[in-house]
Structure 1
């Protein structure tokens, strides 16, 4: 967590015995995990007099110093502590928690991507793709192999925050693809 601007983790904050993320995060920060009073009040209001079970209480534990992150899809929160964001593992709930994190995150450069398929194996174009990458230090050039209907190919993905460099690199990649 000290090496990175942000650390994101999903899952392991549910009600079962194998949901150990909160205890592990608390241990990593040298603090206790306790039931968060705000989370408890929201859960009680949601339950409207129904029993607040130990498994439900487990989902309300947050490391001391943590700030709650809610999702519209649930009353059980995720949380952030310093630069570590802990979210639910269920995709719909996690996506809702992501919405609640934007205020905590600093905006960076917008990275755009372009992707193109080439219908030959990577060994046929690896050297030329390396040459293209070497010409563009500010463009990430990746090759991701696949097999479709018994034919090998790859998706070449270009990523950059520099529109001009991305466009120039893409022209060379399209020229490479046209050879096959």
Structure 2
């Protein structure tokens, strides 16, 4: 499925897998990257979750998310160690066998020196039966795609390379446009006006984001819409409200 979706809206969830994220030992960098990346190509990231390296938790999250969104992207848990259990959990969630995929075996055998494709490294060639491989230009061990679930590495550089590899295959919607109006006041002062403007322009999303600098509170107001004319009209109303309240 490629190209632009008929209703102009494509949704996604991002699932981060790993005890090290939940313990704080590793700081996640993949959710923020995915949010920026997907928005830029016309896919709305609607939900992000972090789950531990536990079979039931991974399988339950994958099944819940894949039923709700057009795409599910995961990161983490497809390496060579005993706690890298994502592949087997995805296979279980989708009800298919986990196999030593001959395509993945060939890629990794060619990558490692003779005799270095150890049993631990062979774990990275375990792929759910029927899945397509996701190219890994950084370290060769592939990710995979099965159904609407895309399984990628947790290392940010590798995950980002995998996103580049799959992007041309994804269906996308009409891109969300945005405009920012700065307000030299706390958001509480303009909240009522913003609610009224939102009601007037239901095809927009209006968010207010407070900032503090040396004890002074200001607000960045972000207006989003897929229609440029609607966006412009709403942004003009917000700018007018800010000017009147600043008067």
Q: Does 1:21 align with 2:86?
A: yes
Q: Does 1:35 align with 2:104?
A: no
Partner of 2:156: 91
Higher mean C-alpha deviation, range 96-105 or range 75-84 = 96-105
Could you tell me how far apart the structure 1 residues matched to 2:233 and 2:120 are?
Answer: 55
**Pairing of 1:1-150 with structure 2 (within 5 A):** 1-150=66-215
Question: Of the two, which has the highest radius of gyration?
Answer: 1
Could you tell me how far apart the structure 1 residues matched to 2:163 and 2:241 are?
Answer: 39
Structure 1 residue 164 displacement after superposition = 0.2
Helix, strand or coil: the match of 1:125?
Answer: helix
More helix by share: 2
Deviations 1:76-127 (A, max 9, x none): 1111101111111222211111122134311211211122333433221111
Normalized against structure 2, the TM-score is what?
Answer: 0.67
**Pairing of 1:150-161 with structure 2 (within 5 A):** 150-161=215-226
User: Contact 1:33–1:63 at 8 Å: present in 2 too?
Assistant: yes
User: Contact 1:140–1:159 at 8 Å: present in 2 too?
Assistant: yes
Higher mean C-alpha deviation, range 8-17 or range 128-137 = 8-17
Structure 1 residue 50 displacement after superposition = 4.4
Could you tell me how far apart the structure 2 residues matched to 1:119 and 1:23 are?
Answer: 53
Could you tell me how far apart the structure 1 residues matched to 2:150 and 2:114 are?
Answer: 31
Higher mean C-alpha deviation, range 81-90 or range 170-179 = 170-179
Higher mean C-alpha deviation, range 146-155 or range 28-37 = 146-155
User: Contact 1:119–1:151 at 8 Å: present in 2 too?
Assistant: no
Query: Over aligned residues, Cα RMSD in angstroms?
Result: 1.9
Helix, strand or coil: the match of 1:101?
Answer: helix
Normalized against structure 1, the TM-score is what?
Answer: 0.89
Q: 5+ residue gaps in structure 1?
A: none
Deviations 1:129-177 (A, max 9, x none): 1111111111111223333333333332222110000111111222233
